[in-house]
Amino acid sequence: MGTCLLAGCGYAGTRLARRLIGPRPVLALVRSAASVAALAREGIPAVSADLDGASAFPVPPDLAAVVYLAPPAGPDGEDRRFERFLAALGEARPQVLVYVSTTGVYGDTGGAAVDEAAPTAPADERARQRLQAEGQARRWCEARGARCVLLRVAAIYGPGRLPLDRLRHGEPVLRAEDSAPGNRIHVDDLVAACLAALVRPVAGVVNVADGCPESMAAFTARVAALAGLPAPREISWAEAQDALSPGLLAFLRESRRVFNARLVGDLGVTPRSPEVGLRDSLREMGLTVAGGPA
Ligand SMILES: NC(=O)c1ccc[n+]([C@@H]2O[C@H](COP(=O)([O-])OP(=O)(O)OC[C@H]3O[C@@H](n4cnc5c(N)ncnc54)[C@H](OP(=O)(O)O)[C@@H]3O)[C@@H](O)[C@H]2O)c1
């Protein structure tokens, strides 16, 4: 089996690399020397290159698959990361490219359901950059006869990515009646989706969400209950304008329910519910789960 290049190997990418390595050769591409060193300590071969600059990276001669997990540049910079990455691949002809995108490309649907055929209407610069990169991925794959899988991913949570500090500091949450449904995925279910996308004959857009949309108030209260922490104070939308960060407010402004039928049917991944995912996360962090095993 040829090498799988993981471009952007941070939180999710590292967990993916751990699952891939062994059965197949893996090369991780990250920005910083510190990340190369951290991956090397786990036995994951890695190289560094800043996709915002001109730095090159060695393309494995037996490149067979690419999973692209680096974020776009966002509103602060011109986003040519993915374009530069594709250019750096030169004449390489992997069989499959998996591009990790976001459900943010659907924009705000006022709570309506979105499947993969739903129109896209990105509401912020980062989501617009994602949509543009999806188009670049499709065209690049078409030109090379590669299979192209575009994973539109909901908010990722898991061990080390839970609002525990916010709860410990007594930070409030937007009250349930003002909250839109939020869509999430446990990091290992995203990893399972990437693994399946690499080997199953699936192409095009696949939503990666757990199919259990719940408000931030409900999700955070669930975290608090399972972690044995006090439930967060709930505040109104007007109070939230001063109390919550601009990023969080932007996330809360968008409302949609993400359907995951292709994830389950075509990729064969049945994501865990928030209850199970949170219990798994807390256990992996070595924390006591209130209410015992389930
Ligand atoms: N977090 C969410 O809720 C969410 C939701 C939907 C989609 N996503 C997307 O899912 C993907 C995986 O998320 P994650 O949380 O695992 O990401 P992450 O932990 O932030 O990792 C990002 C990786 O990309 C690398 N990177 C960033 N900028 C780069 C550049 N200019 N050149 C080269 N490498 C660069 C980083 O390298 P260094 O470590 O060296 O900086 C890191 O390895 C990301 O694209 C993210 O935007 C996330």
**CA atoms of 256 and 112, how far apart (whole Å):** 5
Q: Which of 11, 134, 248 to mutate to test the pocket of ligand 1 (most atoms within 8 A of CB)?
A: 11
Given a contact cutoff of 8 angstroms between Cβ atoms, the answer to whether 237 and 178 are in contact is: yes
| Weakly modelled stretches of the chain, pLDDT under 50 | none
**CA atoms of 181 and 258, how far apart (whole Å):** 10
Question: How crowded is the C-beta side of 251, counted as CA atoms within 13 Å?
Answer: 16
pLDDT at 294: 57
pLDDT at 176: 86
pLDDT at 180: 83
pLDDT at 77: 67
Q: Which amino acid is at 294?
A: A
Ordered DSSP codes for 157-221 = EBTTBSTHHHHHTT--EE-GGGPPPB-EEEHHHHHHHHHHHHHSS--EEEEE--S--B-HHHHHH
Burial degree of 8 (CB within 10 A; 0-12, 13-18, 19+): buried
pLDDT at 292: 62
Handedness of CA 184, 77, 69, 113 (dihedral sign): positive
Q: How big is the chain, counted in residues?
A: 294
Given a contact cutoff of 8 angstroms between Cβ atoms, the answer to whether 6 and 16 are in contact is: yes
Three-class SS state of 114:
strand
**CA atoms of 96 and 130, how far apart (whole Å):** 19
Q: Which atom of ligand 1 is least distant from the CA of 81?
A: 31
Q: Which of 83, 101, 130, 156 to mutate to test the pocket of ligand 1 (most atoms within 8 A of CB)?
A: 156
Domains and their CATH numbers in the chain? 3-161+184-212+257-272 (3.40.50.720)
Across-strand partners of 204? 149
Q: Is 194 in the pocket of ligand 1 (CB under 6 A)?
A: no
Q: Is 31 in the pocket of ligand 1 (CB under 6 A)?
A: yes
**CA atoms of 125 and 122, how far apart (whole Å):** 8
Question: How crowded is the C-beta side of 52, counted as CA atoms within 13 Å?
Answer: 11
235: DSSP letter: E
Handedness of CA 51, 54, 59, 64 (dihedral sign): positive
pLDDT at 293: 57
Tell me the longest C-alpha to C-alpha distance in the chain: 56
